[in-house]
Structure 1
């Protein structure tokens, strides 16, 4: 199964992708739309102005891609650090749809704040605290405001997005604030799973592997069409996965009637690909975290193709 669930598998369902401007968020929104869902896409970068991230991708573009894929995409500019804005967003979803079936907490936008290799007392405190607000406070506010709508019907799904699985994050991320920012959603999913259980809901923490986001492609000076050219600069980029891979992972979860087996767990797109049988756009199943643990950190002599 290359693409995961079929078109229309989520017809009648409503999803909110918080932080769907670009990268994994955009891909998950598009995949949910391709499966037939109504997808609300939020973020701070619109055609009228950019967020502090400074990237050109907009939530309107994501909503248009959702529509082109066969779903209904609705862009709503929302700063998820502002509870009033998030409440207004949820009230709009309730007013227009009367339900919420899938919440994807993908808000981040803190990569430009990271100072690797500095002790906590050497790090710019304002940058560090901003990372925590963007990664943890945004997710907490969104769950607080959106879950009363989601739990009206049994079977709701919350997907916390982070960078790194629980096992992988046992390796220190070389910046305390970044480390906390990427470990927090794992614990959030664990706690939300407990709180949603009596409502028949599921909460999972999901991480992509080495993601070929727009920013990463720009960093290497390549496109999705010729991304393998970047392997000359970074051999480990050979294990990179397209954003579509995590999009297919979210749809696999959303369409699985037995997804509660994952509740409270930390999983990767590669792990779900093995379980559900979907592939990346090139037909492979990259296992990025196994590659990094075995080859990059463990010293095993093997190429990336062995892990695809």
Structure 2
């Protein structure tokens, strides 16, 4: 409540006190007229006699002793994670437990966000009703299917004639392990180079690759996969939701990687590739994934290696 509102309420209480002295002459009649209890009237009167107008201002109802109150340092971290990454209460609770050894419930995080006015996400981030969401599915075996896609990027801080770059992304349907790489071209030769790079990095065999109908995933790419004993399937035209995991991962890149690079000059392709590799490692080894129950992709991979039926 603002200082102006506190002062306005204090003046209203003072008017009630003066009404008894100057108008009604009766506490009962004044209390009936203003719709307040006599206990409230006498409480206001005692505070006014002891502290003057300042005593009539509303006071916090917060208890003096709160043994279970959230630590102020934790309260500072929660809005920061919300503003930096647009995390929801559940993801914030996961991060605090993993990186700060802080246990707090999702509802507790939500109450803190509500208190500071950050309980509502931007429209693009809000949870959708069940009727408007697509049913989530997941392959049960690492390597059973990779989703592969390309997105245009522009390394920050370029001067003069700017070069175009393309981020190739492959994500394992089962574990969410990702492989990223940026290239200055977007064609079938580049796509073939990328898929060979993916096969060399993943610790499991790839059985199937799913792509959209882009020209970079044409006949040469298709036959290269078949030569490597990898099946190639394409989603229906104009249905990017069928490649939902890789599409969602691109949005995560935008929110948690590229947006944090704003204002930083990166005019070197090798430096940019190094930063992208660091982000890939963070995503795979350190970042808890909501769809994996707070596990990182490599933790899920280890779990699948121990118990393939989980």
Query: Which TM-score bucket, shorter chain as reference?
Result: under 0.3
Which is helix-richer, 1 or 2?
A: 2
State TM-score, norm by structure 1: 0.24
Larger Rg over CA atoms: 2
